[in-house]
Structure 1
Amino acid sequence: MNRSNIHLLDLPDEILLFILKNLNNIDILYSLSDINNRRLNILVQEVTSTNILKFVSIDNISIIDRFCNDILPRIRHNVKGFIFDPIFMERILLATDYPNLTKLTIHHFQKEIVSNYFTNQSSLRSIFQEQITNLILINDDENDMECLPDIYNENIYIHILTFFKNLKKLIVMELSVVSYPHLSLCCLPSTSFSSPILTHLYINVRDFDDCLFLLDGRLSKLTIFCVVVYHMDTLEQIVHNM
């Protein structure tokens, strides 16, 4: 066979799927979803059926426009998760209904997102409260920020665990080497940062006592617990019921 005459569509489905699965799914959907070939369209949608769509570091707004107006409504049943920057979050989530969406990863997360979107007045409330079971925050807030630690804990971490009614997995990660505000439960009620359904928690805490607080029964279903502890000192006068 003359190599110059080989076309992408001449390849068998297995090889096409292998190629497509090793490419960025956003690029695949944007570049190939409108090609007038039923076989290729089926393969493209099959590739995205088990993948999370990643909208991060996208400078061309026309890409977002096309996804929201055309592509996402067509593949909405296949979407199980999104990774995106906050600037695109509302538009993407409201572009169509996603009946199988359960996971969100928010890059460049900052405390303003909570007051703007994680509220009962938010247009995204039903998605957050009824569908999302897995939330990953790439926290861009700095640890030396002006907000007092107690206020940050109550307004951000405690509020998130209360607001997301079906949350089973919460991961808070650092965007860079600069650490984000850690969780500290000292002097807060034992009902603070509690959940009867959370099973996975990854977060930075202030000291070892916060680990003990988190294991005192307030997270009764917790099975996976991963923390970074900033100070290993403990408060001897505190009695923990383990």
Structure 2
Amino acid sequence: MSTSNNNDINILDLPDEMLLIILSKLDMVDIFYSLVDLNKRFNQLVLDPLYIHHLDLTVEKSLDHNFPVEKKVFDQIRTKVLPRIHHKVNKITITSPFIEFIFNTVDYPQLRSLSLVNFQQETLLQYLTSDVIFCRVLSDQITHLKVEIKGGIIVKLSNGNELNLFTLILFLCKHLKDLTIDQLFGDRSVTDSTFNLTSMCPISLILTKMKINVNTFDDCLYILNGHFECLSTLIIDIYKISDSSSNIDNTVSIEYYFILDS
């Protein structure tokens, strides 16, 4: 007796739980573009609050290198998807090319967590200083922030001055409790301190957790100089540990203090 018919399983024959597992393994961008409004069942799954509460619009596959396709895909997400889910989103993960359409299309009243992935220094600086809507979200809503910065937090300006993105982020994010800074250094021969905070650096009274990677042990001492009164968890990846070259007042008591030596 032939059993071939019994072995032909349509994806729609799978239970919702299994379909959600499959969806979780795929890019959310692809899912939104391919399955929204395909049929009622997929709409229920893809637009379910449990699925879309973390809006991850990073692209891992071929879309990365095909801008015309990207534009078509993201235009559809902007017009068909975001207006239907924006009030259910509490976390967003995004890369730089699409940050404008994310925040200039709709608002996200429940948004509290934001991850900025693979940002160039200059691009991040532009958004932090010029995008009013984005800055308002950072100031009024974000309590958890993760930033990946290519080249580190020190930006050399055209006039020869330097600007510290870490300081700028602290200044903008009024409600920040959890901060992760991942400096993606292209040249690890540069081992100067990057967290040399001056007296003008804003003091955070509510930041309780920070995870960072730094160049030198001096950076740790600069961070522990009294700017973060409520900091209870500090996780640090140090590129180079050597004798401190500075006389730094580091008098802060931290309940949980980890140094991860790379």
Scaled by the length of structure 2, what TM-score is found?
Answer: 0.76
The 1:174/1:28 distance shift into structure 2, 3 A limit, reads same
**Greater Cα offset, 14-23 or 59-68:** 14-23
1:198 counterpart = 2:207: yes
Pick one of 221, 237, 252 that aligns with 1:228.
237
Say whether residues 1:185 and 2:185 are aligned partners.
no
Distance 2:137 2:96 in 1: 15
Cα offset for 1:63? 0.9
Q: Give the direction of change, closer, same or farther, for the CA distance of 1:22–1:100 in structure 2 (3 Å limit).
A: same
Hey, which of these two has a bigger chunk of strand by percent?
2
Alpha-carbon distance in 1 for matches of 2:16, 2:129: 46
Identity of paired residues, percent? 31
Structure 1 unmatched runs, 5+ = none
- Report if aligned partners of 1:28, 1:44 keep a CA contact under 8 Å in 2: yes
Amino acid at match of 1:226: I
- 2:26 corresponds to which residue? 23
Aligned residues: 237
| Candidates 121, 141, 146, aligned match of 2:151 | 141
Structure 1 residue 71 displacement after superposition: 0.9
Q: 2:181 maps to what in 1?
A: 172
Classify 1:144/1:160 alpha carbon distance in 2 versus 1 (closer, same or farther; 3 Å).
closer
Q: Which residue of 2 aligns with 1:43?
A: 45
Indicate yes or no: 2:66 matched with 1:64.
Answer: no
Structure 2: 5+ residue stretches without partners: 253-262
Q: 2:36 aligns with which of 33, 36, 39?
A: 33
Looking at structure 2, the residues matched to 114 and 170 of structure 1 have their Cα atoms a distance apart, in angstroms, of: 16
CA distance in 1, matches of 2:228, 2:72: 44
Alignment partners' CA distance in 2, 1:233 and 1:174: 22
Q: Partner letter of residue 54 of structure 2?
A: N
Give the distance between the partners of 2:186 and 2:29, measured in 1 at CA: 28
Hey, what's the Cα distance between the residues in 1 that align with 2:220 and 2:142? Answer: 25
Q: 1:204 to 1:67 in 2, by over 3 A?
A: same
Structure 2 Cα separation of the partners of residues 211 and 235 of structure 1: 12
Deviation of 1:141 (Å): 1.9
Residue identity matched to 1:75 = I
- 1:108 and 2:131 matched: no
State the partner residue of 2:135.
125
Whether 1:83 and 2:93 are equivalent positions in the alignment is: yes
User: 1:68 offset after TM fit, Å?
Assistant: 0.9
Shift of 1:202: 2.0
CA contact (8 A) 2:150 2:184 kept: yes
CA distance in 2 between counterparts of 1:26 and 1:146 reads 34
Scaled by the length of structure 1, what TM-score is found? Answer: 0.81
Residue 16 to residue 204, structure 1, CA distance change in 2 (3 Å): closer
Q: Which amino acid aligns with 1:171?
A: T
Relative CO higher for 1 or 2, CA cutoff 8 Å, sep ≥ 6? 1
1:211 corresponds to which letter in structure 2? C
- The secondary structure found in structure 2 opposite 1:52 is strand
Q: 1:74 aligns with which of 58, 68, 84?
A: 84
- The residue aligned with 2:217 is 208
Deviates more, 1:130-139 or 1:7-16: 7-16
CA distance in 1, matches of 2:17, 2:157: 54
Q: Which moved more, 1:162-171 or 1:48-57?
A: 48-57
